[in-house]
Each structure stands twice: as structure tokens, then as C-alpha cells.
Structure 1
Amino acid sequence: MSDLPLSLPDITDAEIEAVVEVLRSGRLSIGPKQELFEDVLAGRVGRRHGIAVSSGTAGLHLVLKSLGIGPGDEVVTTPFSFVASSNAILMCGAKPVFADIDPTSLNLTAESAEKAITDNTKAILGVEVFGNPRHMDRLEQLANAHEIPLIEDSCEGLGGVYNNRKVGSFGRASVFGFYPNKQITTGEGGMIVTDDDRLASLCRSMRNQGRPDPKGQRREPMGGGQTTGSWLQHERLGYNYRLSEIAAAIGLAQLDRLEAILEKRRDVACEYIMRLKELEDIILPTVPPGHETTMSWFVFVIRLAADYGRQERDRIIAGLRRHDVGASNYFPCIHLQPFYREQFGYKQGDFPVAESISDRTIALPFFNRMDPTQIELVTHTLKVMIQREQLLRR
């Protein structure tokens, strides 16, 4: 394992004390911490409802199910994302239909998405890749024009703003993720946010084994957060997608520090940019100019210049790792994953922009508490590895 890891969660005494408080309460599931976490996060992004779930993937699955998406349906989405965004579509029996991405923001664009829409298209699932919110407003306009819902996969974008709108406020529903490498973490977990009362009620029911939505019902605790009457009543197919009280308590403590966390991440990103901006062989992540935009930094991913390829990128990553610097390719294209090739017959060349970018990406170590010495180690080692590649190419 690398001495300098790719990511680290930012856990303080506040999170530890919050967990201890829950453990001492004896209420470990379906309790007040979950409800407060839902209310606070939904309020931050200006949504009426928050539904805490066990992961961002679970949240996407529930939103799609609540919209009635199933076999025979298509959902337009991006091939350049973590595989969970399209897996959630498959989990409903529907088909993910990919469209190529913008080479600057790395996001799905309205123009490419529109070309992929057919009579079977029932939704658009947009992803804020690496925390960049660009194009989400245009995707929302496109979805409205076709009278289909936009689902905002904001699992990588908590705290971001685009055109004066907060990430999490676009489309019919949005989903956040709280894996340990995200802006805030609950260990594992996610959150659906929406203004749609019916969708929220369905998601609450389905996350809890299809039991009735408890909102508005009188709660009579039985050990562990169960309620009398409805606990063994199941109105629909459901799942065990609940978020524990322990996880919700961690999330609340993290939310209390969100602005400080986002500032730390911006500082690390700015330090990287300052140290790498003169390096001609790489393309740095950028924030769109001319917009009221706040980038929420999820990871720090550079791209090698267009004349580099996958083999050279992989050698650079291997060199970083040999020198105890965590690094990774981020993301491999979804349509070229073995399962997707086998299931749908995708091949190299189907989405050339996404593929070209995917072949040249390098995720560098990125976490809140990185100090200038650590960043200098990463950037110096990267420059040495790139110089090595330059010599090999002569």
C-alpha cells in the first residue's frame, strides 16, 4: 500500500463523540439522527424531502424504481462515470443508453443526450463528474422539453453551485453519496433529495422493505426503532436500504463542518494547480468561466496531453506507486467494462471522446488534510515520471 494514499476521510472528535452518543442511546436504526440528517441536508440544497439510504447506488435505484422505470425502458446517461450510475439502471431491468461527453467538463451534454433519445427513453441520468456541475441546467431543459424526468447524480458534487443553483437542486430528484472519499462521509451511505411528495413517499417505503411510509404516522417504538402495526405490513417490493443511526450521526457531524471541509479541499486543489500549471504535458481540471460556479472538489484528476496514450499513462501511474504515491486511472469507461461488452456488444470506438479521456486520466492523492510537503512530493514525482516518458518517446 502506498505511503501517500489516494484518499483519506476527515474524521475528528466530533464524529467519534456523535457515534458514542448513539451507541449509548440504544437506538441504532430508524431514529432521530436519520430524520435530522435528512432535514438538514435537504434544507441545505433547497429541497423539501431528504431520504437517507445505505449508498448512493441504492438512492439511484430507488429513484428509478419510484419513477416506474423497468424492462423495455431506456435511460440516457454518460459512459464516463463510476459504474454504479448505469448499474442502477440495469438493476431496474432497463437499458442504459450512453452518449458521448464534453471534452472540457467531462460531463454529458444536452446536445449528445438529445441524439440518444428514442421513443423508449424514460429518463436522463446526468452525473456531475468529479464535482463539476456544468451542463446540468441544459440537461434539465432537455428533459423538460421531452417531458421525461432528469435524475441528478450528485454523488460527487456536494457543496457545488452552478449558475447560482446548488448541486442537488436539479431535476426530479438528486442523489448524494457518502463513501469515505467523498466531500463528507457516513462510512457508507447516501441521500435522495426531491420536491416530489409521491416520489419521496415511495422511496421511504422501498428503502424499508416495502413497509408503509412512516411520515405522518404515529410512531410507537418497539426495540430498535420498530413501530407497532405496520412493522410486518409490506405494501410493495422493498429493499433493506436503510441508513443506520450511527452513520447518520457521523453525517450530521460532517455537515456541521461542511464549509470548512470544502475550503480545505479547494486549498489543496489550488495548490496542485499552482504547482502544475506550467507543465505542458498535462491538462488540469477546470471550472467553467463566465458562470456563477463553485466547484466542489471530489478528486483531483489530471489528463495527459492528447498525444499520450493508455500505455504511457499506465507507466506513469506505476511509477508514482513505486515511489509510494497513490494514483489511479479514473474512470475506465463503463461501456468497455467486461460485463457491458458481453451484455451489449460495446466496442472500442463507440464513444471516442470518453475513451480518449479515459485513456489519459490520472487521479492524484487528494484529501482534506494534505499539506504542501505532501503535494510537493506528488507533483515532483509526477514531473519526474513524465520526463521519463518524454525520454522514452525520443
Structure 2
Amino acid sequence: MSEIPLSQPDITDKEINAVVDTLRSGRLSIGPRRDLFEQMVAERCKRHEGIAVSSGTGGLHMLMVALGIGPGDEVITTPFSFIASANCILMVGAKPVFVDIDPSSLNIDPSKIEQAITPKTKAIIAVPVFGNTRHMDRIEQIAQVHEITLIEDACEALGGMCANRPAGSFGRASVFGFYPNKQITTGEGGMIVTNDSHLANVCRSLRNQGRAEGAPAPAAMSSVPGDNCGSWLAHDRLGYNYRLSEIACALGCAQMERLDEILEKRRVVASRYMQKLMDWDDLILPNVAPGTEETTSWFVFVIRLSNQYNGTERDRVISGMRRHEVGVSNYFPCIHLQPFYRQSFGYKQGDFPISESISQRTIALPFHSNLDETQIELVCHTLKVMLQREQLLKR
């Protein structure tokens, strides 16, 4: 592991004790901690229904299935995101239709969505990239006008706000992810939130091998012959094992209790980076809309090298920082230029020029709740040395 890791979960004794208590309870799956975790996340997003799942990717996949999206259908999404935003469309045999991004927010550009809509368009998957929720309200309006389902892939945005509404409240349903680099973590895990009770019940069935919602787990089955004896082995539909364990949910509950504290700590780290890097001509810093500083949910801190740099130079900066034990990464490579997408759809360089230009110059700096001033100073110093080296190489 790097001396300064790219990310790190914020775990305290509260989370450890919650997990230990769950282990001691003997109830490790389909129990009260799952129900509480679902309630906490749904309430935070002002949604009625929460469905805990094994990952954000699993949540997106199940929504595609539950909405009946399949071969012959098209789903509009962004080429600048983690690949799961598009893979979930391919998982059901539909076609992802990419729309280029807004260079300021890095989210899908609302002004370009309508020209991508066809009679085959069944949904839009909008991603608040890096936790920036800008344009979610405009995208929702476009979906409503065209009567297209909007799915909010909010896996990076828990705790954020847009137009005085929380991330997770836009569209027919939203999905969160709780991987260890996220604002809160369950180790692995995710959550679907929605106000559509029918959709929620279908997703609950899908996550549980297609069993009917409410089917008892084996430990909860009646011992009376004929009373629910076979319900655990009755399956209403093709389903999956996308359940989230009680252990993970206990960790999630403890993290949700600390969510506001964690968000504030991440804002402080982001503010320190901003202060130290704001006068560097070589850099483009994250664009936070005026007045949203206190409602921004920082997932990562991603800078861009200015237009004078190319992808090769950016990669040398990343390699140099890693040699000095500073964990950095290239968030995100464009989805449409990944080998599988090139081979399957014939995408090529130049298809989505804004995403491509930004993608080749991004650097995700070390970012987590407990990154201290000394570490931030070392990251910035190392970055400066690497940029100075690149300037020398240009001469």
C-alpha cells in the first residue's frame, strides 16, 4: 500500500462494535439490521422504499430487469463514469447510447440528450460524477417531457444536494454504492431507493433468487408441517443472489449515523486541497457551483491538468507520484474506448471529444475523511515536483 493511499474508509469503534454485536446475535442475513439500514438511507433521500443489495452494480442490473429493458431497447448514459453505469445495460441485452458531458460539471450534458432520443429509448441513466449532482433536475425534466424512465446512478453522491433535493431523490429510482472508497461503506454493498412500491417489491424478489417478497428465511420458517414449509424454495421469477448480509448492514447503520460528520470531514479535506492548489496555472480544479459548498458530497478529489498537457504526460505524472508513494489514479478512462466497447460497437477516438479530452488529463489525488494537513502538503509538493519535471521535458 502507498504511504499515502488513494482512499481509506472512516471506521471507528462504533462500527466495529455494531459488527461484533451482529456476529454475537447469530442473525447474519435477512434480519432487522437490513430493515433499519434500508429505512435510514431511504429517509435520507426522501424516498419511501429502500432495497439493500450486494453492490451498486447489482442494483443497477436489477433495475434494468425490473423495468423490462432488454434486447432492442436503448438506454442513454454517459461515457465518463465507472463502467458499471453502462455494463448494467449490456447485462440485459440492451444498447447503451452515450451522450457527451458538460466540461464544467463532468456530468452528461442536458443540452445534448434530446438529440440522442429515439423510439427505442427506454431509459436514461444519469450519473452525478464524483458526487457532483448538478443538472440532475434538468435531466429529470427532459425524461418527464419525453416519458422516459430516469434512473439516477447516485453511487458516488450520497449526501449531496441539487435544487434543494437530496441525491437519490431523482427519477423513478436511484442506486447508491458502498464500496470502501465511498462516503460511507459496508465493505461491499449498495442500495436501491424509490417511491414505486411495485418496483421495490420486484427488486426485493430479484435480489433473493426470485422468491416472493416476504418469503421467510430458513431460520424463520415455521416448524408446523404445511405452514410455509416450502416457501423458501418457491421462486416466482428468475432471480439472483444480490442480498446484503446483516454484518454489512450493521456497518452501514453505524456509518449512516455518522454520515453528516463524515461529509463534513471530507469537505474540510477538499477545502484544504482547493486552498493549496487554486493558484496553480497547470491545474483545473473541481468545479463546485457557487452556494453549494455545504451541500456538495465529495466522493473523490479529481484535478485536471491544463490543456497544455496530453495523456502521455499525465500518465508520467501519475507514475512519478506513485514512485514517491503517493496513491493517485486516472479517474475515469472513457467507457466507449474500453476494449470490449470498441470491439462490440466500433467506437473510436473522437466519438465523444469532451469526455476524451478531460479523461486523458484527470488525476485523482489521495482523498478520505482523515487525510491530515501534513499528508495534503506532501501530496501537493510531490505533484508540483512532477509538473516541474514535465515542464523541463517540454523545453
Answer whether contact 1:78 1:101 (CA < 8 A) is retained.
yes
Q: Which residue of 1 aligns with 2:315?
A: 314
Residue 381 of structure 2 corresponds to residue 380 of structure 1: yes
Take 1:176 and 1:229, find their aligned partners in 2: how far apart are those partners?
Answer: 33
Superposed displacement of residue 160, structure 1: 0.3
Aligned in 2, Cα 1:72/1:251: closer, same or farther, shift over 3 Å?
same
Superposed displacement of residue 290, structure 1: 5.7
Correspondence 1:176-187 to 2 at 5 A: 176-187=176-187
Correspondence 1:169-318 to 2 at 5 A: 169-214=169-214, 222-223=218-219, 228-289=229-290, 294-318=295-319
Superposed displacement of residue 143, structure 1: 0.5
Amino acid at match of 1:338: P
**Cα RMSD over matched residues?**
1.4
Take 1:23 and 1:293, find their aligned partners in 2: how far apart are those partners?
Answer: 37
Take 1:95 and 1:59, find their aligned partners in 2: how far apart are those partners?
Answer: 18
SS in 1 for 2:321: helix
Query: Residues 311-363 of structure 1, C-alpha deviation per residue, up to 9 Å, x if partnerless?
Result: 01001001101111001100000000001001111000000000000000000
Amino acid at match of 1:181: N
Aligned in 2, Cα 1:290/1:222: closer, same or farther, shift over 3 Å?
closer
My pick for the range that moved more, 188-197 or 60-69, is 60-69
Q: How many residues align?
A: 390
Amino acid at match of 2:309: Y
Query: Residues 199-219 of structure 1, C-alpha deviation per residue, up to 9 Å, x if partnerless?
Result: 1010000000000011xx7x5
SS in 1 for 2:232: coil
SS in 2 for 1:144: helix
Q: Which residue of 2 aligns with 1:136?
A: 136
Answer whether contact 1:164 1:292 (CA < 8 A) is retained.
no
Correspondence 1:1-394 to 2 at 5 A: 1-214=1-214, 222-223=218-219, 228-289=229-290, 294-394=295-395
Take 2:277 and 2:194, find their aligned partners in 1: how far apart are those partners?
Answer: 39
Take 2:202 and 2:375, find their aligned partners in 1: how far apart are those partners?
Answer: 46
Query: Residues 217-247 of structure 1, C-alpha deviation per residue, up to 9 Å, x if partnerless?
Result: 7x5x632789744211100010000000000
Answer whether contact 1:128 1:134 (CA < 8 A) is retained.
yes
In the alignment, structure 2 segments of 5+ residues that lack a partner are: 223-227
Aligned in 2, Cα 1:206/1:328: closer, same or farther, shift over 3 Å?
same
In the alignment, structure 1 segments of 5+ residues that lack a partner are: none
Superposed displacement of residue 265, structure 1: 0.2
Answer whether contact 2:158 2:168 (CA < 8 A) is retained.
yes
Aligned in 2, Cα 1:25/1:294: closer, same or farther, shift over 3 Å?
same
Superposed displacement of residue 114, structure 1: 1.3
Answer whether contact 1:62 1:207 (CA < 8 A) is retained.
yes
Answer whether contact 2:221 2:229 (CA < 8 A) is retained.
no
Answer whether contact 1:163 1:291 (CA < 8 A) is retained.
no
Taking only the aligned residue pairs, the percentage that are identical comes to: 68
SS in 1 for 2:234: coil
TM-score normalised according to structure 2 size: 0.96
SS in 1 for 2:113: helix
